[in-house]
Every structure is written in structure tokens, then in C-alpha cells.
Amino acid sequence: MTRVYGDPDAFAIEALAGFAAAYAEHVRLVPGGVVRATPGAAGKVSVVVGGGSGHYPAFAGYVGYGLADAAVAGDVFASPSSQTIVDVARAADRGGGVVLGFGNYAGDLLNFGLAAKHLNDDGVRAATIAVTDDVASAGPDDRASRRGVAGDLVVFKVAGAAAEQGLTFDDVVEIAGLANDRTRTFGVAFSGCTLPGKSTPLFSLDPGRMGLGLGIHGEPGISEREVVPADELADLLVELLVAEAPAGSGGRVAAILNGLGGTKYEELFVLWHHLGQRFARYGLDVVAPAVGELVTSLDMAGCSLTLAWLDDELELLWTAAADAPAFMRGPARPTGHGHGGEQPQQSAPAGGASDAALAPSPIDAVNVGQADPRSRRAAEYVLVGAVAVAEALERDEDELGALDAIAGDGDHGQGMRRGAASGRDEAIRLVDAGAGASTVLRGVGRAWGARAGGTSGALWGAMLSAAADALSDDDAPDARVVADAVAAACDALIEHGGASVGDKTIVDAIVPFSERLRSRIDEGAALAEAWSDAARSAQTAADRTANLRPKRGRARPLGERSLGHPDPGATSFATVVATITPLLAG
């Protein structure tokens, strides 16, 4: 959905003007396009690229040293007119002639073709390069008919570097043609895009479906299927492109993993991680990959993989320095979007990052030491409780997440589930190792704090560790010791959390729980009975907290609870203690 615009008819030109303003040191605005703010050397061949708008960074984002000399911008998804192309090309010409680069679409073929004719008639040497990398748009027997998509960038980068290095007009045209012959792209789409001023997308896909080879303007693809997991998507993309490898090409490839606009960076990186594990398998050495949004289609969701099989000259030009707003490479070491190192072997292994690198932080091992048999029996109660709590929090994950989403970031259920599961696993390990109750509970706390993350992870880690310090490995805890442990957890929570009763946090539940537990035990009640009463008090407090209307006003130090919305901490605490109740009765 496109939402930020004024006059829809002015969208493309206003976007171009705003771009030129943001990158004033890179580009200068001219009617219908942008040219380099600092022109290239006199006499050099100029590379002028373009097409419709709505594909940023294609095409204006490519204008800069080592890449394009100018970009022509048509209206959204519409080719610029031949006259506009001629005007921009004249502004970019340094006396060495103009190479016009664009994707192979009808309007662009016509208008850039007419422009080249006009320029040549007027004595400005001009040639066109129509990029044809989209393998989905025509068969291998008819590559000249294919559409141009993300492969534009490979061809433009090679042509731009060649022109920067002073190659002749004919040589720039020839090497750009070679780059196009060696470049293949295949893409998938998950959703359509919406033109400025329109309320419905240009095309659409059913939820959970993806279009294979769908064009960046919604042109028909080759098929449609269910969305697949990232590893299967990686298989699909690599296999399709490897099958299209140019005859007699080696294993060194330039690669672009392109996001179409609605597919986010992290998704692309997840896919790149899975792709990296496959490149090596197919004998591909990836050189200076580009992972990001490089040829978009407004807010269209989808991505494409581009591979360009390199020879020595193409590799030199692909990795050469560039300094455009959306594509930068340092001279010494490639940097910026599209960066990945001149040593391609750096990326394939890293792509398949070692398990060690992917493992979470280790938990500081607790020292099991010697434990009295009575404490070891108590430790088994701790283990049974840890198992039950992990079960309960897995059951309630979505409910707690939904409660959290009202005012927070919706991750509370996930964090509690992960923390409890880690605590359970550590409890199992420690009980098997013969640890006492204090040690096992300390281990549960450390595992919970280390693995859960978020607010609750830190708080539960601190609470459980404080409770563990109140227990001992030398004897079985009696009811008073349990009450002391709960009180210690309560104090630790208040110390770390900075909240008080009434702030609608976990404090609202643990304080009445601790007080009720203490008073019933002081009255001589058995632990099971006292705990049961206290758990009910916690539940009552949690329900009251959850139902409190948000009070207007300032955000509190617990920033995610801003504007006084209740957080789910009281509810999850009540769930945990209620889960323990029947175990004590048994």
C-alpha cells in the first residue's frame, strides 16, 4: 500500500526531487532525471540508465562514481519519453558518447531506441543495452525476449566501471553485452503492489501462495504454489539458476539477493544464510554479493536471486570501486550494499555459519558440589515443578503474547516459554548430576535469565537466583524456608524491576503472594495449604491488574508499559505459582 504522497500524478517527480535533495552531494536534478553532481572525466563514455519510477534504488540510486553518469525517471512503472531521455543524456554526455541501459520492456525499448536514434542524428554517439536476465519470462532459446529485473544492476555496474576506467565506446558496449549474456535472475512474489492514489493492488496473490517468476509489475509468472520455508526457497532459486549457467562458465559468480520492497532485510538475511550453505554444494564461489533492496517494485513482497557468471575482466569490473547513493564499494575493500569481499570464499562459508557461531551463549555452569540426600529429594520437587511450569507456559504462550501485545511488543509469552524450557533442561541436568535443591534452583534461574531474553527473562533469572540463595544443599527446606525464598525473590524483583505495587506489573501479584504465604505459615498452615491460598491471592491480584483501565499520563521507567497499560507479568506469575500448588499437595 502506498500511503505517503500528494498529487499522485506528481509522485514520481516529487520522489526524484526529494531524492536529489537527500543526496545533494551525489546528484544534481535535471528535468526528468538526475546527473552526477561531480561529472566524470571529459571524454569518458557516459552510462545513462533508466526506466519507470517505483523501483528505487533503480535507477536514480545508481548514479555516482564507478556506476551510472545519469538516470532518467519515467512516471511510476512507465517508461520515460524519448525526449526526456535525450535531454538527460545530453546533460550527462562528456563527449565520449552515451550508452543507454534499461530493462527489456516494450516502452523502454521504444523510447530509449528512439532517443538513441535522435542522439546519433544529432551527432552524439549513442547505443542501447536492454537487460534480459529474467529466466522466467522466456525460454533459454529466446533469451533476447526476456525481461530485465535485478540483473540490471550487474550490467550497469560492469558498464559503469568500464566507462570509469576509460574503455572506448565500443568496448563499454561489448563488455556490457557480455555481462548481460552471463546474468540470470529468478524471483518469487508473495503480494502485489499498490500504485500511488490507488486503493487496490495492481495484482494480488492468495495468502500463503507465492508466484514463481512473476514480473516486477505483476506480469505473468510461470506458476504459483504454497509459500515454502526459507531452506526450500533457497533450493528452488539456486537450482533454477544453476540449470541456466552459461556454457563453459566457471564457478565464480556475482550474486544479488534482491528484496522487491515488502520483504524485509532480516528475511533476506535468513534466506542468504540458507543460500550460503548451498552455493558451496553447487561449486559456486560468490564474489562481492549484494543483499538488500536493489530493484524494487513499490511495496511488492517478494525476492529474487541473480547470478552472473564472471570471467576475470567481469570480476574486476563487478568488484571495482563505486560511490552511488544506493551502491558503494570502497577502492581498497568493497563496502556498502553489494559488499561481501573480494575473497568470495569468505562469504560461502560464512553463509553457512558454523553451528558454534549460531549457538546461544553458554550458561555459566553451576558447581554441583556435595548435597545432602534430603536436599537432593527436595531438588526433585524443584525439577517436577520446573517441568510443570515449562508445560504450563508453553500452553499459555499465545495467550500471554496477546495480553502483552496490548501495550508491549507481544514477546512475553515467547520469552516465558523459552526461559522455562531452558530452566527445565538445566534442572534435569543438575538433578542427574546429584545437585541439591539450592543448586538446582540456581541453575534454573541462570538458564532462564540467559536464554529467555527480554524483561521477564532478566527478572525471573534474578528472582529464582535470589530464592536459590535462601535454600541450602544441606537439608530439606521447611515451609518457613520456602516463605523466606519467596520473600527473597520478591525483594530481588523490586530491586531490579524498579516497579511498585499498583504499577500493573508482576509486582502486583508477587507481593500479595509472598505476604499471604508468610502469614498462613506463621498461622501454622501446611506448605501445600498456605501455597494454595497464596496462589489464589496472586490470581486475584493478577486479574485485577489485567482489568485495570489504562490511566493516561507519562510513560514509566518500564518504557514498554507506557501510558499505564497493564503488563502480563502478574498473570504469568499467577500461572506459575498455581502450577506448583497441586505438586505440593501430592
Does position 274 interact with a second copy (CB under 8 A)? The reply is: yes
Select the span of 28-36, 159-167, 310-318, 379-387 touching a second copy (CB under 8 A): 28-36
Does position 546 interact with a second copy (CB under 8 A)? The reply is: no
Task: Enumerate residues 359-398 that contact a second copy by CB under 8 A.
Answer: 359-364
Does position 495 interact with a second copy (CB under 8 A)? The reply is: no
What are 453's three cell numbers?
A: 531474553
Task: Enumerate residues 414-443 that contact a second copy by CB under 8 A.
Answer: 414-415, 418
Q: Given CA atoms 550, 553, 556, 559 in this order, what sign does their dihedral have?
A: positive
Does position 496 interact with a second copy (CB under 8 A)? The reply is: yes
Closest approach of a second copy to the CB of residue 342, in Å: 8
Q: Give the separation between CA 580 and CA 276, rounded to whole angstroms.
A: 46
If the CB atoms of residues 123 and 248 are measured against a second copy, the closer one turns out to be 123
Task: Enumerate residues 550-579 that contact a second copy by CB under 8 A.
Answer: 550, 554-563, 565
DSSP secondary structure of 458-491 = HHHHHHHHHHHHHS-SSS---HHHHHHHHHHHHH
Does position 341 interact with a second copy (CB under 8 A)? The reply is: yes
Task: Enumerate residues 498-537 that contact a second copy by CB under 8 A.
Answer: none
The active-site residue out of 26, 55, 217, 339 is 217
Helix-strand-coil split of the chain, %, nearest 5: 50, 15, 35
Q: Give the separation between CA 18 and CA 26, rounded to whole angstroms.
A: 13
Does position 42 interact with a second copy (CB under 8 A)? The reply is: no
Residues contacting 549, CB < 8 A, separation 6+: none
Query: Is 217 noted as a catalytic residue in this protein?
Result: yes
Closest approach of a second copy to the CB of residue 548, in Å: 15
- Beta-bridged to residue 49, according to DSSP, are 71, 101
Using the rule CB under 8 A, which residue among 166, 250, 251, 336 binds a second copy?
336
**Residue 355 CA: distances (Å) to CA of 350, 351, 352:** 11, 12, 9
If the CB atoms of residues 289 and 436 are measured against a second copy, the closer one turns out to be 289
Does position 41 interact with a second copy (CB under 8 A)? The reply is: no
CB atoms within 10 A of CB 194: 18
Task: Enumerate residues 470-489 that contact a second copy by CB under 8 A.
Answer: none
Does position 185 interact with a second copy (CB under 8 A)? The reply is: no
Using the rule CB under 8 A, which residue among 133, 323, 397, 508 binds a second copy?
323
Count CA within 13 A, CB hemisphere, residue 115: 32
Q: Give the separation between CA 259 and CA 86, rounded to whole angstroms.
A: 31
If the CB atoms of residues 434 and 564 are measured against a second copy, the closer one turns out to be 564
343 burial via Cβ count (<10 Å: 0-12, 13-18, 19+): exposed
Using the rule CB under 8 A, which residue among 45, 47, 48, 57 binds a second copy?
57
Q: Give the separation between CA 468 and CA 326, rounded to whole angstroms.
A: 54
Using the rule CB under 8 A, which residue among 40, 50, 52, 211 binds a second copy?
52
Q: Quick one: residue 498, left, alpha or beta (phi over 0 = left, psi -120 to 50 = alpha)?
A: left
Q: Are 28 and 63 in contact (CB under 8 A)?
A: no
Closest approach of a second copy to the CB of residue 296, in Å: 7
Q: Are 130 and 106 in contact (CB under 8 A)?
A: no
Strands 98-103 and 126-131, sheet pairing: parallel
If the CB atoms of residues 26 and 442 are measured against a second copy, the closer one turns out to be 26
If the CB atoms of residues 346 and 519 are measured against a second copy, the closer one turns out to be 346
Task: Enumerate residues 212-271 that contact a second copy by CB under 8 A.
Answer: 215, 217-220, 227, 229-231, 233, 257, 261-271
If the CB atoms of residues 203 and 381 are measured against a second copy, the closer one turns out to be 203
Select the span of 92-100, 102-110, 163-171, 570-578 touching a second copy (CB under 8 A): 102-110
Catalytic residues: 217
